[in-house]
Amino acid sequence: MTHSFATSLDALGEWRGALSERVDTLARFLAEHDLAQGAAAEQIGSLRERLGNEKLVVAFVAEFSRGKSELINAIFFADTGRRILPATPGRTTMCPVELGWSADEPPSLALLPIETRLEGLSLGELRLQPRAWRRLELKIDDADELARSLLEVTRTEWVTEAQARALGFWDDAHPEDNPPRDDEGKVEVPAWRHALINYPHPLLRQGLVVLDTPGLNAIGAEPELTLSLLPSAHATVFILGADTGVTKSDLAIWRDHLGARAPTRFVVLNKIDSLIDPLATLEQVEAQIAQQQRETARTLGVGLERVFPLSARQALAARVEGDEMGLNESRLPILEAALGAQLLPQRRQVLEQVVQEGAQQIENHVVRHIGDARRQLAEQTLELRGLRGKNNAKVRLMIKRVDAETAEFEECTTLLQAMRAVHGRMLKDMLIDLSSDRVRDEVAEMQASMGASILNLGARKAFLALCERLRGLLAAAQRRNGEIREMLAASFGRLNAEFGFSLAQNKPLDFDRFTGELQLIESNYVQYLGLTLALRLAQPKFMEQFRRMLISKLRVVFENASSELELWNKAVSAQVDSQLRERRKAFKRRRETLEKIQSAAGELELRIEEIETQDQRLIEFQAKTSELAESLREYALVAPFSTDAAFDKLDLPLFEDAVPVGDEAAMQRQA
């Protein structure tokens, strides 16, 4: 079988599945031996979640009728034996269509009515409101029925000019872009604002999300597409028609939406089959394709190796018929190999890092926990050995000593309380600054200085000032985290020295990720404010939508920062609590042991033996934990494409020498 993007993504999915199994094994072992408490349990949960939820988004962008939907069909859905997404001449896909899989829902098509635009709610907010969507169940076993259901994404409505204007599809300043009118003066607009297809395709199950878009420069394009969906895609495939070349509107889309995102762009010169000419030789057609490829690369300002001439239609037909030669002639496999060569190593790297860090943290935690327990056992053994040959009076004395030590130890609670109070206060202050209310207030301040329109000259300045303030908040949070650590260091020092704790500092919080996300939002919005598109959407209603969209984007960043902060602090408290608990238990155990020894002869040796066995078991647990964590880390390091036996059988090219992201020359060699 020919190598395809689909099969290599499959291999990546298997690798991820195997990683999850190893995480499960580790988690099970820890749970069985009572080692998965507090921070360790949370770290396992977060590792599992990140492994399971990491998405890979591939977006297809172009002017209408260039073949986006056809290409998606050829790459992802040929195994159904037919064309699944509607692809016909003229405008077909009328709204953005997101294909993905969530096991929480049945296979379905969810459609967001276009009228929701009138309410000013952003797509992000509406995603959380199931009632806003029309939901159709999908019959996935019946390809014809499935294709029929998906026709819904092509639905349009006829509305009055006033309605079209309110929905953002009519602009008096640019009549050439306005949609057609019928005899009664009604205007054709899309019926849906967004469509979500929940479909258990093997690739979608593995976290792939495919985004099909309607012709983008169409007036009234969803701002969220420009501001959020496209910028966060891991790869964007821009499609041109070999029959049309690079037109003015193609160029406008490229400039407005893709121009700045170099490492993730792929340019497809589709429909090369239309260049076949009965009056020309194959060589002449070949030369013409090469010529078009060069021209396209030059016009768009990308490397020649980034332009992929192919025929989506031919590829789909060949795959459906199992025609290997036809598939090669379509040249689709070259694009798929390039997509795979770029995306899979990149994705593997992200997952690898998640696993490496997670496994290390879990192991550190468990090792520390076991270390504490062993230290206490050692103290106890020492004490018991000292009792050998001693009489009952001596034992009674020992019990008194334990009681005194216990009382002395309990004095640490004053210090602990003081530490917790200060810590809680500091944390609360930090969380207020990262709260949704704070974000909302900051955006309101921006809006006050902007006025009612996002178009006035001050808008850009006000927006940049907002970003500056928000960056300041994140920086302040990071600084305060440093202060918390200093405070804790002082308290931990005393607790360790005076009360026998062995508390260790956690790694400082790193907010770079959130600062980076903020930066991305900033550059996208700045670009958007400069778009002609924004001009057309500058009505008050869209201003409201813009504001809400901005708030919901920013809120995600700040909410994630808050939860990371909370997780960090929970880990601190969990460590203190668990050591406090263990210390108390140890005192209690010591007293009970002495009481038993007092009441029965022979008990002493028995207890010493018991403790030694316990210690031996802890040594074994620690070794086993390290072994499991190490196996997880090691597995995360191996390239899934070379070591997985099942994958080797598929006879696919190896990706061991993973291409660094953005290394175009190397990528070309590999492709």
Ligand X SMILES: Nc1nc2c(ncn2[C@@H]2O[C@H](COP(=O)(O)OP(=O)(O)OP(=O)(O)O)[C@@H](O)[C@H]2O)c(=O)[nH]1
Which residues here bind ligand X, judged by CB under 6 A?
A: 62, 64-70, 87-89, 91-93, 214-215, 270-271, 273-274, 311-313
* Of positions 4, 8, 93, 524, contacts Mg ion by CB under 5 A: 93
- The site map against Mg ion for 418-457 (x = CB under 5 A) is ----------------------------------------
* Min dist. Cβ of residue 82 to ligand X (A): 13
Of 74-82, 93-101, 228-236, 543-551, the window that binds Mg ion (rule: CB under 5 A) is 93-101
- Minimum CB distance to Mg ion smaller for 92 or for 264: 92
- Minimum CB distance to ligand X smaller for 197 or for 667: 197
Residues paired with 181 in a beta bridge: 187
Q: Which helix (H) or strand (E) holds 19?
A: helix 5-32
SS3 287: helix
- Minimum CB distance to ligand X smaller for 68 or for 265: 68
Residue pair 179/25 in contact by the 8 Å Cβ criterion: no
* Min dist. Cβ of residue 270 to ligand X (A): 5
- Minimum CB distance to ligand X smaller for 311 or for 380: 311
Is 69 near Mg ion (CB under 5 A)?
A: yes
Instruction: Please give the Cα distance from 409 to 412 (Å, whole number).
Output: 6
Binds 66: which of Mg ion, ligand X, none (CB < 5-8 Å by kind)? ligand X
Binds 271: which of ligand X, Mg ion, none (CB < 5-8 Å by kind)? ligand X
* Min dist. Cβ of residue 243 to ligand X (A): 7
With DSSP H G I counted as helix, E B as strand and the rest as coil, what are the percentages for the chain, rounded to 5? 65, 10, 25
Binds 22: which of ligand X, Mg ion, none (CB < 5-8 Å by kind)? none
Binds 247: which of Mg ion, ligand X, none (CB < 5-8 Å by kind)? none
- Minimum CB distance to ligand X smaller for 311 or for 670: 311
- Minimum CB distance to Mg ion smaller for 195 or for 554: 195
Among candidates 294, 241, 243, which has minimal Cα distance to 269? 241
DSSP class per residue in 131-154: GGSEEEE--TT-HHHHHHHHGGGG
Q: Which helix (H) or strand (E) holds 58?
A: strand 56-61
What does the chain come to in residues?
Answer: 671
- Minimum CB distance to Mg ion smaller for 16 or for 68: 68
Strand order across the beta sheet in which 97-100 lies: 134-137, 108-113, 192-198, 97-100, 208-212, 56-61, 235-241, 265-270, 307-309
* Min dist. Cβ of residue 344 to ligand X (A): 25
Binds 256: which of ligand X, Mg ion, none (CB < 5-8 Å by kind)? none
Q: Which helix (H) or strand (E) holds 95?
A: none
Binds 389: which of ligand X, Mg ion, none (CB < 5-8 Å by kind)? none
* Min dist. Cβ of residue 326 to Mg ion (A): 23
* Min dist. Cβ of residue 90 to Mg ion (A): 10
* Min dist. Cβ of residue 68 to ligand X (A): 4
Residue pair 465/584 in contact by the 8 Å Cβ criterion: no
Binds 319: which of Mg ion, ligand X, none (CB < 5-8 Å by kind)? none
Residue pair 102/292 in contact by the 8 Å Cβ criterion: no
- The site map against Mg ion for 29-68 (x = CB under 5 A) is ---------------------------------------x
- E strand intervals along 191-264: 192-198, 208-212, 235-241
Give 129: exposed, middle or buried? Use CB within 10 Å, 0-12, 13-18, 19+.
exposed
**Residue 578: CB atoms within 10 Å:** 18
Instruction: Please give the Cα distance from 295 to 311 (Å, whole number).
Output: 18
- Residue 110 has φ and ψ, to the nearest 5°, of -110, 130
Is 198 near Mg ion (CB under 5 A)?
A: no
* Min dist. Cβ of residue 282 to ligand X (A): 17
- Minimum CB distance to Mg ion smaller for 150 or for 354: 150
The tokens describing 372, both together, are 């504490």
Residues 6+ apart with CB under 8 A from 20: 48, 51, 52
CA distances from 620 to 7, 31, 582, 624, 625 (A): 41, 15, 20, 6, 9
* Of positions 4, 8, 92, 478, contacts Mg ion by CB under 5 A: 92
- Minimum CB distance to Mg ion smaller for 85 or for 354: 85
* Min dist. Cβ of residue 315 to ligand X (A): 7
Binds 112: which of Mg ion, ligand X, none (CB < 5-8 Å by kind)? none
- Minimum CB distance to ligand X smaller for 208 or for 275: 275
Give 527: exposed, middle or buried? Use CB within 10 Å, 0-12, 13-18, 19+.
middle
Residue pair 337/671 in contact by the 8 Å Cβ criterion: yes
DSSP class per residue in 558-589: HHHHHHHHHHHHHHHHHHHHHHHHHHHHHHHH
SS3 60: strand
* Min dist. Cβ of residue 105 to ligand X (A): 25
Binds 621: which of Mg ion, ligand X, none (CB < 5-8 Å by kind)? none
The residue count for binding Mg ion (CB under 5 A) is 4
Binds 340: which of Mg ion, ligand X, none (CB < 5-8 Å by kind)? none
* Min dist. Cβ of residue 327 to Mg ion (A): 22
* Min dist. Cβ of residue 244 to ligand X (A): 11
- Minimum CB distance to ligand X smaller for 60 or for 492: 60
- Minimum CB distance to Mg ion smaller for 92 or for 122: 92
List residues near Mg ion by CB under 5 A: 68-69, 92-93
